[in-house]
Amino acid sequence: MAKAIMIQGTMSNAGKSFFAAALCRIFSQDGYSCAPFKSQNMALNSYITADGFEIGRAQAMQAEAAGIEPSVLINPVLLKPTTDVGSQVIVNGKAVGNMTAAEYFKRKKELIPQIMESYNKLSAMHDIIVIEGAGSPVELNLKSDDIVNMGMAQLAKAPVLLVGDIDRGGVFAQLLGTLSLLEKHELDMVKGLVVNKFRGDISLFDSGKQILEERGGKPLLGVVPYLRCDIEDEDSLSRKLDSRGSKGIIDIAVIRLPRISNFTDFDVFAQYDGVSVRYVTKYDDLEEPDMIIIPGTKSTIADMKWLRESGMELAVKRCVARGVPVFGICGGFQMLGESISDPLGSEGGGSISGMGLLKCRTVFGAEKVQTQTKGNFCKIGGFFECLSEAEFSGYEIHMGTTESESPELLECGGAYEGNVYGCYIHGIFDSQYVSERLVKRLFEHKDITYRGGIVNRENYKQAQFDMLADGVRRSIDMELLYRIIGEGI
């Protein structure tokens, strides 16, 4: 069976996912067979494995960092919020229904056998398992029957590293406060501390290290600087969604829907010089972009209603009338059509008229489509005629079935009308053959020749993982880390 190390954080977005990914890469570089694991994830960013199972996108990213194929074993429970108080519950890669938070809390202990079955299978296949916790381990009202933080550490007999985020301030209160709220047997499992996202001169934290070790009674493995690596973020806490930076030569506006999902679909555009991506929530902020993207969502009807009531639908239509191209992905594709209905209540029930920019009608059913796919664009016209017959690959995650009278966009579906395009394929822009042609077309529309560099997406991602691993390796005591893993608890 594999050795294990568990990464817990003082709060959400403390950097657990990135730190776990860094360790996966480091252990792989050091010659170990390594895999990530998160017993329960709550996120709207998800991924479909090669055999059709749905897992958290962050765990798929960590598997890539480890150099292994993403598997349903690495994330046996996934919660996808559908409302402020409820989620779709996915167990072993398949949806088992929607539950309120209270319903799930009562039943989550029943999932322990399935979680441990996945963990034990994974452990038998690898040398080291990097386990990631969720949120904070000391949410005292939620600690009963915990299956993702200290409860998981006990089940896996995994030593714990506690990570604090100094970038948002209060790192002493975060780390020391968390330690003070742990029970004795939980405190014994914590074998070290990590200060994450430090900006500036790290030598200024020398006295801070002494304070943490003296008051916390735990060694500080290191202070990790704020690493500017372009790696997929975990969830809606991502700072990318609040981007208000300067616009590039090409300004791509993504409508930030209330329950936006899989916003990592657009990370590829960061590779292109002169291209910026903004996430827009207000009518006045849309302005005059060069391209609009309507992304996926976990609550299509509710977000279509928001799009209409916020005035964003009108703003998008005005841009379309001026010739601005619009591309909808998954839920965004459904919204571009004429109607959306949910007779079985798969995502809350009801029906609503869409934007009417595509001649499509969507009806939600009981079964979720979960599949990886690849193919080619059809011979198409309109603004992005340049995408004709381009190769793509990606994956589908959706409840709805869409019937279309518009021209077909892809060999496997989708639709387009003039400068409006839509399909179900997450990750479709990752293909160099798609994003490169699309970016060049946007430049050409402004009578500018694109002269920036173009990098193979896969090579680019691997280089970012190496950069992340190098930054963490230089910052922490690797000898102590390997000793903690070896000794266990």
Compare 306 and 81 and report the one with higher pLDDT: 306
For the stretch 403-418, pLDDT in tens is 999 999 999 999 999 9
Amino acid at 205: F
Per-residue pLDDT, 302: 94
Report the distance separating Cα 160 and Cα 175, nearest Å. Answer: 13
Provide DSSP, 282-301.
SHHHH-S-SEEEE-EES-HH
Compare 295 and 450 and report the one with higher pLDDT: 295
User: What's the mean pLDDT when you consider all of the chain?
Assistant: 93
Enzyme catalytic residues: 330, 426
Residues present in the chain in total: 489
Q: Does the 3-231+463-487 domain belong in CATH 3.40.50.300?
A: yes
Q: Which ranges of 158-236 does DSSP label H, i.e. alpha helix?
A: 171-181, 184-189, 206-216
Residue that has been written with the tokens 């391209």 in this structure = 291
For the stretch 383-408, pLDDT in tens is 999 999 999 999 999 988 999 999 99
Per-residue pLDDT, 229: 87
What are the residue boundaries of the structural domains of the chain, listed by start? 3-231+463-487, 250-447
For the stretch 443-471, pLDDT in tens is 999 999 988 776 788 898 999 999 999 99
CA 68 centroid distance within chain:
18
Q: Which of 24-28, 54-58, 139-143, 327-331 shows the lowest per-residue confidence on average (mean pLDDT)?
A: 139-143
Report the distance separating Cα 71 and Cα 122, nearest Å. Answer: 9
For the stretch 207-227, pLDDT in tens is 999 999 999 999 999 999 999
Q: Is the pLDDT of residue 232 over 70?
A: yes
Per-residue pLDDT, 245: 57
Report the distance separating Cα 372 and Cα 395, nearest Å. Answer: 4
For the stretch 11-64, pLDDT in tens is 998 999 999 999 999 999 999 999 999 999 998 889 999 999 999 999 999 999
Per-residue pLDDT, 428: 97
Q: Which ranges of 67-109 does DSSP label H, i.e. alpha helix?
A: 101-107
State percent of the chain over pLDDT 70.
97
Q: Is the pLDDT of residue 196 over 90?
A: yes
Q: Is the pLDDT of residue 239 over 80?
A: no
CB 122 within 8 A of CB 135: no
Q: Is the pLDDT of residue 142 over 80?
A: yes
CATH of 250-447, one of 3.40.50.880, 1.10.150.570, 3.10.20.600, 3.80.30.20: 3.40.50.880
For the stretch 99-137, pLDDT in tens is 998 899 888 889 999 999 999 999 999 999 999 999 999
State percent of the chain over pLDDT 90.
79
Compare 85 and 47 and report the one with higher pLDDT: 47
CB 198 within 8 A of CB 166: yes
Per-residue pLDDT, 346: 80
Compare 191 and 240 and report the one with higher pLDDT: 191
Q: Does 3-231+463-487 match 250-447 in CATH topology?
A: yes
For the stretch 348-369, pLDDT in tens is 789 999 999 999 999 998 888 9
Per-residue pLDDT, 90: 94
Most confident of 181-185, 245-249, 343-347: 181-185
> Residue 279 to residues 58, 254, 419, 422: CA-CA distances in angstroms?
20, 5, 20, 19
Q: Which residues pair with 262 in a beta bridge?
A: none
Per-residue pLDDT, 367: 85
